Amino acid sequence: MRSTTLAARSLGAVMLLLGSVAVVAGAYAVITGVDGMPGGVSADDSVDSELRFFGTFYVVFGAAAVWLSARVTTQTRALRIWALTLFFAGVARAISWLDVGRPDDLFVALMVVELTIAPAVVVWQAAVRDDSG
């Protein structure tokens, strides 16, 4: 059956890794706020509040990836919504770059990952999905 293929298991492992990183990073943002940002940035209380607020969404986004990691062959719609969300996050980083300037190298790298991994996951999942159900 296609769901037991190495490609499906590998995609599941990638989703588990991406999800785990997002959960940890989101929790870190909630706990540390702007003080945890690379580059020693400073921000007012409203920006710190907003960062911590969005950190919770990053935790949930990561948890969704962890949940999907065991269901990559069957949850096509959910996985595509997840990937589209990731892609739009990369687009948002690009808009920020154009609007206020180049961010720290970490965020440039994250933008590249978001803009490339999202479509790759969709293509990969299309190759391993189980259409028998």
84-131 confidence digits (pLDDT tens): 999 999 999 999 999 999 999 999 999 999 999 999 999 999 999 987
**Closest to 74 measured CA to CA, from 9, 132, 1:** 132
Number of domains in the chain: 1
In a domain, 133, yes or no: no
- Do the Cβ atoms of 79 and 72 come closer than 8 Å? yes
Q: How far is CA 122 from CA 13, 84, 91, 109, in A?
A: 15, 9, 17, 20
AA letter at 128? V
Rg, the chain, Cα only: 16
Q: What residues contact 24, with CB distance under 8 A and at least 6 apart?
A: 62
- State the residue range of the domain holding 101: 2-128
Is residue 77, in this structure, part of any structural domain at all?
yes
37 domain-assigned: yes
- Whole-model pTM: value is 0.89
